[in-house]
Amino acid sequence: MTTLFGMMSTEGWMDVMWNAVDSTEIHQVPRRNENPFFVFFFMFFMVIGTLFILNLFVGVVINTFDKEKEKLSRNNLMTDLQNEYCEVLIKCYQSKPARAIVQTGSKCRDLAQNIAEHKVFELFIFTCICLNTVVLAMAWYGIDEDILSVLEVINYIFTGIYTVEMIIKMAAYGKAYFDDGWCIFDFLIVLSAWIGIILLQVFAIDVGSISTIIRSFRIARVLKLIKAAKNLQQIFNTFILAIPEMINVGALLILFLFLFSVLGVSMFSEIKLQDNLTRHANFENFGRAILTLLRVATGESWNGIMYDCARTESINFTCIEK
């Protein structure tokens, strides 16, 4: 039972599986791949015990959370028809009118509006984003300087295209340009790219890691694909709307971390450092205990830390450092 529980946490389950595959008889030397069909037992258990059962627990918790939330807001007293009516009202209040092209009489602005709203222009920008993503993925360790220079030139060309797009949209929408979150995102991407180009090419200033961070920020252009793909945009918006609920869950996690960190310091602070209980992961003080429990929460070597903390004093091992 203890072994299967440890496997459900996905910590070291493959080691257990391969040891079982190599096993022969009791008190006999194992042989490699003696029982290869034992693999199916462990695979089946991982699918049922980890992917299904644990996710089922998470689903039950989320369902219960939704029910309690409905009770607190007294929405559980409404009928299904009333709930649907309220959802329609919420969507109506949250909806925003589509930006209409209004001819202002200015030839430059009218032309910019027609270009910005044209489907060919949107398709061209989408294609540039895809090609830019491919160019960003073409770098590798030990790349030749000539190839790197060509890639940098291509990135500068894409930066120029995004700059033209920004100028066209700013000319078309005016102050309304900064009312759109995606437009602000485009503006920050272009601004950061030009800051890096000016510092490096014009003033020949290389500020070390800061310059690298500025140049690496252009990778965020990949997120512009979310704007172009409606399905991705819906998933992204769902993630944004779930952030407040995630904050509540995070607060609960911090509360448990605080509680168990205090207990860990009081119980394991004097245990000698070992293989898994190292200077990076221990309970010698409150701060290090929180970091250790955060690592344990990810499932990384949690059982090794548990076994190190569970060792008792003996002739070969002393818990309290002398």
Residue-wise pLDDT tens digits, 277-317: 888 899 999 999 999 999 888 888 888 888 888 877 676 66
Do 117 and 228 have their domain in common? yes
CA distance 267 to 261: 10
Residue-number span of the structural domain to which 30 is assigned: 1-56
Do 221 and 124 have their domain in common? yes
Do 111 and 209 have their domain in common? yes
Q: Total structural domains in the chain?
A: 3
Do 117 and 204 have their domain in common? yes
CA distance 4 to 177: 57
CA distance 180 to 189: 15
Model confidence over 150-181: pLDDT tens digits? 988 888 898 899 899 889 888 888 888 887 77
- At residue 101, the pLDDT reads 56
Do 147 and 249 have their domain in common? no
Do 255 and 236 have their domain in common? no
- Residue 97 CA to its chain's centroid (Å): 32
The reply to whether 148 falls in a domain is yes
CA distance 284 to 168: 59
Do 208 and 128 have their domain in common? yes
Do 156 and 217 have their domain in common? yes
Cβ-in-10-Å burial (0-12, 13-18, 19+) of 189 comes to buried
The reply to whether 85 falls in a domain is no
Do 256 and 223 have their domain in common? no
- Residue 117 CA to its chain's centroid (Å): 33
SS3 assignment, position 18 = helix
- At residue 322, the pLDDT reads 38
The reply to whether 89 falls in a domain is no
The two tokens of residue 160 are 């120029």
Do 160 and 275 have their domain in common? no
Do 130 and 233 have their domain in common? yes
Collect the ranges in the chain with pLDDT lower than 70: 75-76, 98-105, 202-218, 221, 228, 313, 315-322
| pTM metric for this prediction | 0.60
Do 221 and 255 have their domain in common? no
CA distance 318 to 312: 7
CA distance 286 to 292: 10
How many alpha carbons fall within 13 Å on the CB side of residue 142?
A: 0
